[in-house]
Amino acid sequence: MKVIRKIIEIDENLCAGCGECIPACPEGALQIVNGKAKLVREDFCDGLGACLGNCPKGAIRIVEREAEAFDEEAVEETPKPQEPALTGCPSATLRTLAAKVQRPVDEATQTPVTSALSHWPVQIRLVPPRAPFLKQAHLLVAADCTPIAYPRFHQDFMAGKVVLMGCPKFDNVQDYMARFAQIFQEADVQRVTVLVMEVPCCSGLPLVVKKGMALAGKEVPLEVVTIGIEGGVLQRKDL
């Protein structure tokens, strides 16, 4: 049955066929056909646009038109390919990293510097909602500037968390909302910490995460930590 609804549209003239949008669609509505990304199942596209932020050419947009109704039951019954299955940019290839990876020795203290990073990628736009490391995770959603301003970012904030990074000023917040909605729908996230700078352009990031949560019909504990430009923690509050 066809209805008027929101659904994605792909501009073949812009599409480079990189395949980065394919794993970003948890429903499996997209395929590469003859070197171009195609919407092969209208009834598998929920119209939220989780794939938008993964297109480096900006070839995907959301439109409103007559299309097959979204069939959630069929989506659940159809086997999905195992992740990762990326054919595009290596920066988006999923990896789970060994805990407490040793880095070069800190010359001042003569002790090994330890990384708390547990996975790759870390950019919000590159992490598929069904990435295995998201399952039942404590998310650390960090504004891009926070690890630069806060010198103990790894030690104080990353341990035991899955970090997702982005910039609400330069990236598309609608894409972020759609991505977080998919993550909260798929991953059974247990808790969220949002790390922002004291500057005004960062203030919208916690609200974007909260909106994504609401779109998914979820209520997850969320703490907002504000970092000062001089490097200290200025505020902690629950949202």
State both tokens at 28.
């499996």
pLDDT band, residue 56 (cuts 50/70/90)? confident
pTM score:
0.63
pLDDT of residue 235: 96
**One domain for residues 65 and 18:** yes
pLDDT tier at 93 (50, 70, 90 boundaries)? low
Same domain for 128 and 202?
yes
Structural domain that includes position 221: 94-238
Q: What is the dihedral of CA 180, 185, 187, 189, to 10 degrees?
A: 70
Structural domains counted in the chain: 2
Q: Domain boundary residue among 36, 52, 77?
A: 77
Residues 148 and 228 both lie in one domain: yes
- What DSSP assignment string belongs to 28-45? --EEEETTEEEE--GGG-
Whether residue 102 is found in the same domain as residue 44: no
For residues 175 and 217, membership in a common domain is answered with yes
As a whole number of angstroms, the distance between CA 206 and CA 156 comes to: 19
User: Does residue 174 belong to any structural domain of this protein?
Assistant: yes
pLDDT tens-digit profile of 29-47? 998 888 889 999 999 999 9
Q: pLDDT higher for 161 or 113?
A: 161
